[in-house]
Structure formats: structure tokens, C-alpha cells
A and B are shown apart, each in its own frame.
Chain A
Amino acid sequence: METSKLIESAAKAVENSPDMISLLFILALAVFLGFELIAKVPSTLHTPLMSGANAISGITIVGAIMVLNNAGTNQTAQILGAAALGFAAVNVVGGYLVTDRMLGMFSKKAKKPEDKA
């Protein structure tokens, strides 16, 4: 009984959503892509990588907007959604700005002494 209900609800969820399985596919592929991409980042850039990645994790801001939109007249949901939005905004704005500030400092050698010789 329990199991059949579980399967039923799962089936319903899959039907109503953009395919749970394909989202899991996306997740698996994105993880592998992430490993490949990030393994190539040189250690010089690990701090900006971390703060830049941190800014990307602020993508929760999209979730916060959607939750706020769906909240309707439910005041608790509205307040929680707005708080989520605020925190995500700190993450996104702060993360990208501080990364940009850091990367602006990385400079190449202006002139190599060997070149003069």
C-alpha cells in the first residue's frame, strides 16, 4: 500500500515536471564538465576561482525570485522568499565584484629584462 502510493506520487511528480530523470542527467553531466574545466585552472587563480564560483552559487537568487512569485498571499512564504533573495543578492553582487577587483590586480610583466639584451 505504502509503496504503491509512493510510486504513484513519484509518477505524478515526473508527469508534472520537466522530467526528473533528465534533470538528474543534467546534474551528472554538469558535475563531470565541472571537474574537467576546473582541473585546468592554474593554482595562481585559485582564490579568484573560489570567489567566482561562490558568486555563481548565488544562482539561488533565481530560485528565490520564483519562490517569491509563487508565494501569493502567504505572508510567511513571502518573508522567507524575500530574505532568501537578500542573502542571494549579497552573494551574487559581492562575489562578482570582489572577483573582478582581484583579477584586475593580476598583471603581466611589463618588460622582460632579457628582451633588452
Chain B
Amino acid sequence: MITGIAYVIASALFVIGIKLLSSPDTARRGNMVSAGGMLLAILVTLIDCSGTSLAWVASAVAIGGLIGGIAAQRVEMTSMPEMVALFNGSGGAASLLVGCAEFVRAPESSWTVLLPISLAIVIGGVTTTGSLIAYGKLSGKISTAPFQFTGQGLVNGLLLAATVVCCVLFSLTLGEGSLDSARMNLLIALVVLSLVIGVTAVIPIGGGDMPVVISLLNSYSGLAACAAGFVILNNVLIVAGALVGASGIILTVIMCKAMNRSLSNVLFSGFGSAATSGGGTAIEGEAKPITPEDAYYVLEAARSVLFVPGYGMAVAQAQHVVKELAAILEENGCEVRFAIHPVAGRMPGHMNVLLAEAQVPYEMLVEPDDVNPTMENVDVGIVIGANDVVNPAARTDESSPIYGMPIIDIDRARSVFVLKRSMRSGFAGIQNPLFFCENTRMLFGDAKDSISNLAAEFKD
């Protein structure tokens, strides 16, 4: 009874916690409320399960908690997507193991338990290896290029079909006792199949599409917790899992919309591979370089400056000098804003966190829809390490692979500085006509150095 009430309170705390996340002012409190709910649920369960060997619990929690805690303290904000992918994977693994442990303990359960067990194993398994592959791609430990081979769709389809058949056989074939060893074999088959599917499903997806994959895996880890909730018939797992599942799905949809692509296109098309990057009209023209001195004179006179950061800013670790330049410009009486595209960076909201780390107030961050209608009033647009999200071909060139994708219309600003190492095309290998626009100037070199040089010009 008391346990039940405590679970209700814990669920409510999760809901309140997420509600407080709707504003940056209350978000930190929200996270603490949510953590409080978690602590309550854990303590009450421990009291309820007084028969549990405390040595087992203490050592498992100590080891896991220590690993998670140290990782959380040490991780660089640039590597946040990798970190989240790993945490996701460990959540998936936990659900998979709960499913296995419950079956080993009570193999002769009815199908109402066996079916959730098989679901917890399959969703948990896919989440585990899928997240590991995503981690590998995000951290550059494995190639970020889509890995494709002929008949890939067929192989994935067969694996999926085999998994469904195993699930059905595992949970719905009736019979007691004698079937246990067959069931055990099916369980092992399910574990292996789900782990393999996690790999084969994520490996064909390019590094640029990782924001979608992470969001989707986030959703899966919630669904796996949900399934585990049905295994042990526990409502707090179901509520929490459903909230996470919903959150992941919403973020997935936002990411897909921001790229003007369907989820199936992201998951199966191998975007960014040689087959898809051939499109786009060849561009005639010459990119016009600019020196930091000349850029300084333009910026000195500017009344409105809009930064467009991309993943390149994170790679160059330029966010701190960018903030410094922004402060100088503001002191100079200039209005400074940062336009953040939803898919800039390697996970939803990644740029916002990087700029927050550099102490850029969140009021200065705007979305494409806020800034596009008034782009003509922007004196200088500064593009730092972003490419596809400012590519005007998305508006004008029907043959471009990214045609139709909502972009930041920085080409409509009075003048545009593009910070770039070289004239290489961006992640998806698509030519960017922005570089050849009449009002565009290229500031070649390392983004961090270029921005520092600009800031130094102001100080002189």
C-alpha cells in the first residue's frame, strides 16, 4: 500500500520535473525534482524488497554509480552526444538483463509475462548495440560514412522477421516443463538477434543523421523500461518509460522536419553516401576572400550581427572566443544574436549547450523562424562551421539533395562572412552556392583563430 502510494508520488515528480523543463529558469530545479522522484522510487523498492542481499545491491549500485558519476563530471560539452548515447545503451542493457533474469527465475510464467519479457529483451538489445554504434560514429571511432551493401534491406527484413517469429514462439507456445529448454534456446536467439539488429540498423546511417538516431534510441530506451514494467507489473516503470518514449519520438519528429525528410528516408536511404550526393547543379563563380582587417571595418560599422554556428564551431572549440567577440560587438552598440538550426550539431539542442557553456545568455539564441522574416535587417551574418543549414540551394535548386529543407536564410543578410578552413563541401558533400554569392566573403582559416583575430582588431 505505502509502496504503491510512493510510486504514484514518484511518477508525479517525474511529470512535474519535465514540466519545469519548459523554461531555462526552472529547468535545473525540474531535474532535481525528477531525481527526487527516482530516489523515492529506489528507496521504497529497497524497503519493500527487504529480502534482497544488500551486498549485491550496494556493490552493483556503487560500481555503476561511480562509472556514471565520473563520466558525467569529466565529459566535454562537445562530446555530449556520445555520452548520451552511452547512457542510453546502458539503460537498454539494464532492460534486457531484467527481462533475462526474470525468465531465468520463473521460466513457467504465462504469456502475459513472457510477451513483455521478449519485448524488453528485443527493444533493450536493439538500444544497447544501436547506441554503441552511434557512439562509435559520433566519436569517430568507426567511420561516420553510411555503411551499405547490396541486399541490406533484405537482410534487415529477414532479421526482423526472425525476431518476430521468435517472440511469438517464445511467449505464445503453450506447455509447461518440457518446453523449458526450447524456451531457453529461444531466449538466447532473441538476445542475439536483437543485438545484431541494433548494429545492422544503425550502421547504414550517416554521421550527419545522428541527431535523429540518438532521439530514436532515446525513445527506445523508454519503451524498453516500459516493457520491463509490464514484466514485473510495476506502474512507475510504465509511466516513466512512456514519458521517455514520448520525448524521444517528439525529438525524432522535430529533427526529421528540420531536414525535410521522412523517418524512413533517414533510417534507410544512407544519406551522404556516394549514391545520393551526386545531385545538385554545378556552381559557376568565384569565392571572394576577405582579410580580418577588412572584416573588422565591416563589423565595426554593423548595427545588427547574426552568428550561425554549426558543428564546425564545436570541433574548433571556438565557442569561447565567439562569445568574446559577441561581447565586444555588443559593447560597440551592436545587436548580436545567434541563429540555431534544429539539426546544427550532433544532437538536438547541442549548439545551445555549447554556447551556454561559453556563458552566452539564452535570450540571445533564436530559431530560424524567428530570424528569417527580418533577415534583410541583419548587417552581417557570420557563419561558423555551419554549411548545409545555410545552403540556399535548399530553397532554389530542385535537383539538390537537400531541396526543401528549412534553412537559415543568411544569404539574404546585407553581408555574410563564412569562416571556413578550405573550399571543401560540407558533411553531406553538397555544393553550397552561398560561398559564391555577391554579398558573401570567405574568411579562410581555423575558426578559432579567425574569431580571435577579429576580436584582436577591435582591441587595437
Contacts and interface: CB of A to CB of B under 8 A. Distances in A.
A38 B80 CA distance: 20
Interface stretch (B109-117, B134-142, B393-401, B429-437): B109-117
Given A6-B111, A41-B22, A27 B362 contact: no
Interface residues of B, number: 120
Contact of B84 (A50, A70, A109): A50
A108 B356 CA distance: 10
Interface size class of A (residues with CB under 8 A): 35 or more
Given A51-B80, A94-B69, A97-B72, A106 B356 contact: yes
Contacts of B221: 54, 57
B456 interface: no
**Which has the most chain A C-beta neighbours within 10 Å: B25, B61, B91, B222?**
B91
B101 interface: yes
B84 A59 contact: no
Q: Is the interface of B mostly helix, strand, loop or mixed?
A: helix
A84 B112 CA distance: 22
A101 to B, nearest CB: 7
Contacts of A55: 34-35, 38, 87
Contact of A30 (B31, B242, B350): B242
Contact of A46 (B77, B172, B243, B352): B352
Interface of B: 11, 14-15, 17-19, 21-25, 27-28, 30-32, 34-35, 38, 41-42, 45-46, 49, 51-53, 56-57, 59-61, 63-65, 67-69, 71-73, 75, 77, 80, 83-84, 87-88, 90-91, 93-98, 100-102, 104-106, 110-113, 172, 174, 214-215, 218, 221-222, 224-226, 228-251, 254, 330, 333, 340, 342, 347-350, 352-353, 356-357, 359, 361-365, 367
Given A74-B105, A94-B69, 8 more contacts: A30-B246, A31-B242, A58-B38, A60-B94, A62-B237, A78-B53, A100-B28, A105-B359
28 contacts: A6-B172, A9-B112, A12-B110, A17-B233, A27-B238, A30-B11, A33-B246, A34-B242, A34-B246, A39-B250, A49-B251, A51-B87, A53-B18, A53-B248, A60-B237, A63-B231, A71-B105, A82-B59, A85-B56, A88-B64, A90-B64, A91-B87, A100-B32, A100-B35, A102-B353, A106-B27, A109-B363, A113-B333
**Complex A-B, nearest 4 residue pairs according to Cβ-Cβ distance, in ascending order:** A94-B68, A89-B64, A34-B246, A46-B349
